[in-house]
Amino acid sequence: MKKIVFLTGTRADFGKLKSLMSISQNSKDFDVHLFVTGMHMNSLYVYTVKKKKKAGFKNIYKYINHDSIEYMDRTLAKTIEGFSQFIKQISPDLIIVHGDRVEALAGAIVGSLNNILVAHIEGGEVSGTIDELIRHSVTKMSHIHLVSNEEAKKRLLQLGEFEKSIFVLGSPDLDLMQENTLPDFKKVAEYYEIPFDDYAIAMFHPVTTEYKNIKQYSENFVNALIESNKKYVLIYPNNDIGSNEILNEITKLKDNSNFKIFPSLRFEYFLRLLKNSKFIIGNSSAGIREAPYYNVPTIDIGTRQYNRVRLDSIFNCNYEKDQILNYIEKVSKIKLEKFEEKDKFHFGKGRSDKLFFDLLNSNEFWQIEHQKKFQEVK
């Protein structure tokens, strides 16, 4: 029996990993463990680690990797320390990490330096922020690459990875995005006590390389939302440096009946709210990945998603309040046509879990070399 560890540190990566963890745990051939850290262990986000147990996952190891000062280098160091101790205890055959957060980098470093296979989900993507540097670093410390599409595969080949180690899986969150897997809107609205059904989703995260300006940017964002006089379901930012400045601005909205504010949402419940929304505004990757799949327009603010794929439903604007307001008015009047298939399915068509499970059961997967080499581009 192969022992597999999934490392999750954010709301987003749990949504990406959930279907893969489920299909693995339900097999008698794999012993699945979860290393849960980061935002999941932060009281600000209502200890989302509790939701992992409710989702039916077992063998959960909890680790606090943050302190009162949210610096990425300190978080990286603490995660390496905690994860290193953990893998020494259980000796896994495979470590699975996702994306571009420091927790993923810590997992890849610990795995590769301890001669344990590391699989990285959604490598080969670009954004334009420091997250991109982390993502490519995780790629170089990983042995197996489970990418979303052929574009990502091409970038990994440019980074010197061997083609035999790259598998196009699609984006795993699409497994959870099908209509038959989502709760109905009435159930979600009642659960979260959302009193309106004509609303937009708002999510605004800090960009660490723009920390000096984040107070002004978040002020512009919040003031634009207020002045638009529309209804919003607003979700807390991630815990990168600069999040406190955004949260301070969000306090202005505490008694404003146009806003329902949440530290975190269940992933499937969030997807239902997104699917039923008029648009999504901010700088979350949900506006680039999930929203287009549901034909929901995106107002993408600033540079955080700058190099991501651009589809007809995504409107980029700067951090100025007036421009944000203009786009809110513009997007509110747009009735989007049905996306072309190639746009909607840019990140796959779902069933990543089945593709993943087939890989786990193949000899090819487990025979990938632990000793990495650089492949010259011919």
Render each residue's pLDDT in the chain as its tens digit; 378 residues.
999 999 998 877 888 898 899 999 999 999 999 999 988 777 665 545 555 555 678 899 999 887 766 688 999 999 999 999 999 999 999 999 999 999 999 999 999 999 999 999 999 988 867 888 999 999 999 999 999 999 999 999 999 999 999 999 988 877 778 777 899 999 999 999 999 999 999 999 999 889 999 999 999 999 999 999 999 999 999 888 899 999 999 999 989 999 999 998 988 899 999 999 999 999 998 998 889 888 899 999 998 888 777 788 899 999 999 999 999 999 998 766 655 555 555 666 668 889 999 999 999 999 999 999 998 887
> What is the model's pLDDT at position 346?
61
Q: Which residues pair with 4 in a beta bridge?
A: 32, 94
The residues of the chain that CATH labels 3.40.50.2000 are 2-176+350-366, 179-344
336 secondary structure, DSSP code: P
Q: Please answer whether residues 277 and 233 qualify as being in contact, where contact means their C-beta atoms are separated by less than 8 angstroms.
A: yes
> What is the model's pLDDT at position 249?
96
> What is the model's pLDDT at position 348?
60
Q: Please answer whether residues 296 and 277 qualify as being in contact, where contact means their C-beta atoms are separated by less than 8 angstroms.
A: yes
Structure tokens at 164: 């035999």
Structure tokens at 106: 């810590």
The whole-model pTM stands at: 0.84
**Cα distance between residue 116 and residue 128, in whole Å:** 30
> What is the model's pLDDT at position 69?
61
> What is the model's pLDDT at position 239?
80
> What is the model's pLDDT at position 173?
78
**Cα distance between residue 38 and residue 169, in whole Å:** 26
Specify the CATH architecture of the domain 2-176+350-366: 3-Layer(aba) Sandwich (3.40)
**Cα distance between residue 139 and residue 132, in whole Å:** 11
**Cα distance between residue 344 and residue 293, in whole Å:** 5
Q: Please answer whether residues 280 and 200 qualify as being in contact, where contact means their C-beta atoms are separated by less than 8 angstroms.
A: yes
Q: Please answer whether residues 14 and 46 qualify as being in contact, where contact means their C-beta atoms are separated by less than 8 angstroms.
A: no
Q: Tell me which fold the domain 179-344 belongs to.
A: Rossmann fold (3.40.50)
